[in-house]
Homo-oligomer: A and B are copies of this chain.
Amino acid sequence: MSFATTSARTVDAHRERVTEMLRPLAARPAEQVAVPAALGRRLAAEVRSPIDLPVFRNSAMDGYAVRAAEVLVAPVRLPVAGVVAAGAAGGDPLPPGAALKVMTGAPIPPGADCVVPVEDVRVDGAAIIVERGRAAGEFVREAGTDVRAGAALIGAGTLLRPRHIAALAAVGLAEVGVLREIRAAVITTGDELVPAASTLAPGQIYDSNGVALAAALTANGVRVVSVAHSTDSPDEFRRLLRAATEAADVVFTSGGVSKGDFEVVREVLAPLGGEFGSVAVQPGGPQGWSVVHGIPVLSFPGNPVSTMVSFEIFARPALRELAGLSPVESHVVPLGDAIRSPAGRRQFLRGRVLRSTTPDSALSTPAPVAVEVISGAGSHLIAGMAAADALIDVPAEVTALPEGAPVRIWLL
């Protein structure tokens, strides 16, 4: 393997490689979950309605069920023979020459063929006066006119949103088959890392990559089954890797991939067939990609910003597609600052999006109109990254851009 910049692969080539490694996760098994818990999950197979909707012929209004033929010559006075509530069995037929009061959703009594809304009649003691003629079918919802029993209700692969959950509930389903979530394990590496709230000894820093990758995975529809930290001991990393590949569909590691003296990830994974190399990108140049016991293992560099940017540009697009989520949002906008960029490497700078403030602003998120650079290029600037809301994509061949130059941005 080579780390020479001249042989570095492009960002697009590496993203394509990662996407290809993750593609088998599309074929994950289905599992049955309760309908309310299926929100945000992907439907495993097309759901057909087990029943007609509406289930039975019912009234669209609070009003009076009548025979249209009996109110053809209006005004006409009809005695009210009773009331049909929503939930009533609806077995009693409408007597000839009469009306039955019906509530919205109540069954249309046998014999009736239209409903006169309550606001369109005059009540006259125990009778109503219908003021004008009515057509058969008015304000009657026929059974099966929304969906027929056996007809397709929701397509396979659909990401289930509230309106789908509503439809599943409306046809009486208690459970539904959804694709199992993608299960990910995260292993961070480095002797220098200590857990949150520890007292830092000289040379130590807090382990943020585990928490950060877990959050990024969760936010993109992936279920994180474990987050572990390994020292630079190959035995410890090997042990954690084994547990991770047994529990997860995909493993993410941080650190230990470049050409220092203590590169535990590379040391363990390269002999297992893992590949390690350079991508012509800043941050995130050194990358590793392996398949261990059939499980893809993506190895990002350990600098916090490198880890997060690697996730954003290499893994996030494919993971979102697998989870059924919308693609990462991207725009081309003018740059708010002049910048310089290293030759031969595509650079992802941290930016803050400026948005228009139109009269529409209160209604909807306004479109991005520009982006400003808000942090240095250093891959350790994690606080700077927190203040950003976009990555500014500076092509590899570009070494300088003036203020106002159009750049592609990727929303974080």
Chain A residues packing against B (C-beta within 8 Å) = 3, 35-36, 39-40, 49, 51, 53-56, 58, 60, 62, 83, 85-91, 101, 103-107, 118-119, 141, 145-147, 153-154, 161-174, 190-193, 195-198, 200-212, 214-216, 218-219, 227, 232, 258-262, 302-304, 308, 326-331, 360, 362-365, 378-386, 388, 412
Contact = CB atoms under 8 A, between A and B. Distances in A.
A146 B380 contact: yes
Given A166-B211, A166-B382, A170-B205, 15 more contacts: A36-B227, A87-B191, A103-B260, A105-B380, A106-B192, A107-B202, A145-B381, A146-B384, A162-B212, A162-B412, A172-B200, A173-B196, A327-B364, A328-B364, A330-B364
A84 B171 CA distance: 66
B174 A85 contact: no
B383 A141 contact: no
Contact of A166 (B227, B262, B304, B328): B304
Nearest to A85: B262
Contacts of A164: 386
A224 to B, nearest CB: 9
Contacts of A218: 39, 162
Contact of A365 (B162, B193, B327): B327
B60 A380 contact: yes
30 contacts: A3-B119, A35-B196, A56-B203, A60-B378, A62-B259, A85-B192, A85-B261, A86-B203, A86-B260, A87-B203, A87-B204, A91-B202, A104-B258, A104-B260, A105-B302, A161-B219, A162-B218, A163-B308, A163-B385, A166-B208, A166-B308, A167-B382, A169-B206, A169-B210, A170-B205, A170-B206, A170-B304, A173-B197, A327-B365, A330-B363
Contacts of A166: 208-209, 211-212, 215, 304, 308, 382, 385-386
- Which of A215, A259, A262 gathers most chain B CB within 10 Å? A215
A334 to B, nearest CB: 18
A6 to B, nearest CB: 12
A260 B91 CA distance: 20
Contacts of A165: 211-212, 215
B261 A83 contact: yes
A149 to B, nearest CB: 12
Given A170-B304, A198-B172, A260-B62, A211 B380 contact: no
A121 to B, nearest CB: 13
B146 A381 contact: yes
Contacts of A169: 196, 206-208, 210-212
Nearest to A388: B163
Contacts of A209: 166
B386 A215 contact: no
Contacts of A308: 162-163, 166
B89 A201 contact: yes
Given A172-B200, A202-B91, A219 B39 contact: yes
Nearest to A86: B192
A49 B141 contact: no
A260 to B, nearest CB: 4
Among A85, A147, A162, the most chain B Cβ lie within 10 Å of the Cβ of: A162
A215 B164 CA distance: 9
A201 to B, nearest CB: 7
Given A162-B215, A196-B174, A386-B163, A86 B154 contact: no
Query: Across chains A and B, which 5 residue pairs bring their CB atoms closest together, nearest first?
Result: A87-B192, A166-B212, A167-B386, A87-B191, A169-B208
A112 to B, nearest CB: 15
A404 to B, nearest CB: 21
A200 B215 CA distance: 44
